[in-house]
A and B are shown apart, each in its own frame.
Chain A
């Protein structure tokens, strides 16, 4: 079987549309997920009390469940239980927000806890106000530690967003399966779709590895 370039040339715009949708979904759920992750992270850092318990449950549930379960649950069971209707895109963004919130909370927590205890103590003993302790002393060090796992998480999020094709969101994997179903050119279309994903994910993961190496050298 020969590799038919014509099909790719013909269907290229649809695939690019799909890639844009993937980008849109990922950035929306990443933005919302950062907010949720920060809230959950502060809840988890309290170590006791009602906030701690709620955020521990949310983090544990959405880290352990396979991603497909919340996606299907919110898309098909959610509207049955709750009195509101939700579009496929909305359901997908909600599911990915919960997923990324849970993972990002743990990443933020690990970053904050990796800052040595002495830094807090030194800042406190210098009489720096609490707000400035976190803003000027802790967060620059914590952010530097967070960058590699954060970028790695974005890679995972892009990969997971391909699952949204199962509930009919018109992102890259969905367009790829529809086009290849119509034209019977599975080899060409899926190779190109895989390459597009690779082009999105590979630079990110290379950057994460570069930062990680730099971090290891600095310590």
Chain B
């Protein structure tokens, strides 16, 4: 008896019974609560009908992500280089910038840039420009931190060798430090790009005209929330999953080249 029981446990049959049992229970619960009448009237042709605006929105999302990441990357690296200058006030300014934009929600930053900043500067920005400004400010804060870690990870000997050769600043940075730091930065950079791809959905709250805005408009216009939201969710999942798979691959390749 005991040996049979042990064999059953080892084989994982009990686990399968419990697993499939709970799955069946969940299915029964769904069957009881799902409104089948409604489900049978779902009409996914709405996606095909509105394919052009949806594709345009997707293009907009990708473009906004790319712009944000590029601006954030360049300014993040510049800020990280400036941070290396041993001048206290400058360091404080950069630290305050990084902490403020990292420790507040993007939503508040977005509304602040769109509604409050024009009151300060007197220049009113369009929704797209505000969206790009808010996202790239946050991206620059995140990427400053990443770039700083990357620069710190370059071995001390490299700096000493460059200094002892009396290399000028630009050569030191462009040919010695940044190429080595860049390699360390690539995986976190890719992760940041994915998180900003996800964050770009927030821009729908000020109606920028990217995928989420357009899908919300279509859903509210046609009263087909389920179809449109599900389709958009699938698009976001597939793209995000592909991106993170590529990042994982990239990380593996970089790790292999390290050895």
Q: Is B78 an interface residue (CB 8 A)?
A: no
Tell whether, in the assembled complex, residue B105 and residue A49 are in contact, meaning their CB atoms are under 8 Å apart: no
Q: Which label, helix, strand, loop or mixed, suits the secondary structure of the B interface?
A: helix
Contact partner, A1, options B120, B200, B232, Cβ 8 Å: B120
With A158-B105, A186-B116 known to touch, is A77 a contact of B226 (CB < 8 Å)? yes
Residues of A within 8 A of B202 (CB): 68, 163
Q: State whether the Cβ of B180 lies closer than 8 Å to any Cβ in chain A.
A: no
* A66 within 8 A of partner (CB): yes
Contacts of A162 on B, CB cut-off 8 Å?
105, 107-108
Given the interface pairs A54-B19, A190-B112, A190-B115, the reply to whether A64 lies near B229 with Cβ below 8 Å is no
> What residue of chain B has the Cβ atom nearest to residue A161's Cβ?
B105
Cβ-based interface call for B75 (8 A) = no
State whether the Cβ of B68 lies closer than 8 Å to any Cβ in chain A.
no
* Complex interface bits, B94-109 against A, C-beta within 8 A gives 1, otherwise 0: 0000011011111111
Cβ of B205 and Cβ of A166 under 8 Å apart? yes
B15:A72 contact, CB within 8 angstroms: no
From A27-35, A79-87, A111-119, A126-134, give the one contacting chain B: A79-87
Q: Which of A6-14, A89-97, A142-150, A198-206 contacts B (4 or more CB under 8 A)?
A: A198-206
Is B177 in the interface zone, CB < 8 Å from A? no
Q: How far is the CA of A28 from the CA of B197 in the complex (A)?
A: 28
Given A76-B225, A163-B202, A166-B205, do A198 and B15 touch, yes or no (CB 8 Å)?
no
A25 at the interface (CB under 8 A from B): no
Q: How far is the CB of B130 from chain A (nearest CB, A)?
A: 12
Encode contact with A along B208-225: 1 for CB under 8 Å, 0 otherwise.
Answer: 000010001001000001
CA distance A164 to B102 in the complex (A): 19
Q: In the complex, which residues 169-183 of chain A have their Cβ closer than 8 Å to any Cβ of chain B? A: 173, 176-177, 180
B115 touches A49 (CB 8 A): no
Which of A46, A160, A190 meets B116, CB within 8 Å? A190
Please measure, in the bound complex, the distance between the C-alpha atom of A48 and the C-alpha atom of B11, giving whole angstroms.
12
Q: Which residue of A lies closest to B216 (CB)?
A: A72
Is residue B167 within 8 Å, beta carbon to beta carbon, of the partner chain?
A: no
Residues of B within 8 A of A60 (CB): 241
Instruction: Say whether A109 faces chain B, with CB atoms less than 8 Å apart.
Output: no
Give the CA-CA distance A131 to B30 in the complex, in Å.
35
CA distance A184 to B38 in the complex (A): 43
Q: Assess whether B23 is in contact with A201, with CB atoms less than 8 Å apart.
A: no
Residue in B16, B112, B236 whose CB lies within 8 Å of A49: B16
Whether A198 pairs with B104 at a CB distance below 8 angstroms is yes
8 Å CB contacts to A: which residues of B221-253?
Answer: 225-226, 229-230, 232-233, 236-237, 240-241, 244
A65 and B38 form a contact (CB under 8 A): no
Tally chain B residues at the interface, Cβ within 8 Å: 49
Considering only residues 32-84 of chain A, those with a C-beta below 8 Å from chain B are 46, 48-51, 54, 60-61, 64-70, 72-73, 76-77, 80-84
Q: Can you list, as one digit per residue, whether each of B77-104 has a CB less than 8 Å from chain A (1) or not (0)?
A: 0000000000000000000000110111
**Contact residue range for chain A?**
35 or more
Q: How far is the CA of A160 from the CA of B232 in the complex (A)?
A: 19
Q: Decide if A211 is an interface residue (CB 8 Å cutoff).
A: no
Assess the B103–A65 pair: CB atoms within 8 A.
no
**Contact status B229-A84, CB under 8 Å:** no
- Assess whether A191 is in contact with B19, with CB atoms less than 8 Å apart: no
A1, A173, A205: which contacts B108 (Cβ < 8 A)? Answer: A173
Q: A65-B236, A66-B236 are in contact. Are A81 and B39 (CB under 8 A)?
A: yes
Residues of B within 8 A of A73 (CB): 229-230, 233
Q: Find out whether the CB atom of A64 lies under 8 angstroms from the CB atom of B19.
A: no
Question: With a CB–CB cut-off of 8 A, which chain A residues contact B219?
Answer: 76
Q: Interface residues, chain B, CB within 8 Å of chain A?
A: 12, 15-16, 19-20, 23, 33-35, 38-39, 99-100, 102-109, 111-112, 115-116, 119-120, 197-202, 204-205, 212, 216, 219, 225-226, 229-230, 232-233, 236-237, 240-241, 244
Please, could you name 6 A-B residue pairs with CB atoms under 8 Å apart, sorted by A? Answer: A46-B15, A65-B236, A155-B103, A176-B108, A186-B115, A202-B99
Using a CB–CB distance below 8 Å, which chain A residues touch chain B?
1, 46, 48-51, 54, 60-61, 64-70, 72-73, 76-77, 80-84, 155, 158-160, 162-163, 165-166, 173, 176-177, 180, 186-187, 190-191, 193-194, 197-198, 201-202, 205
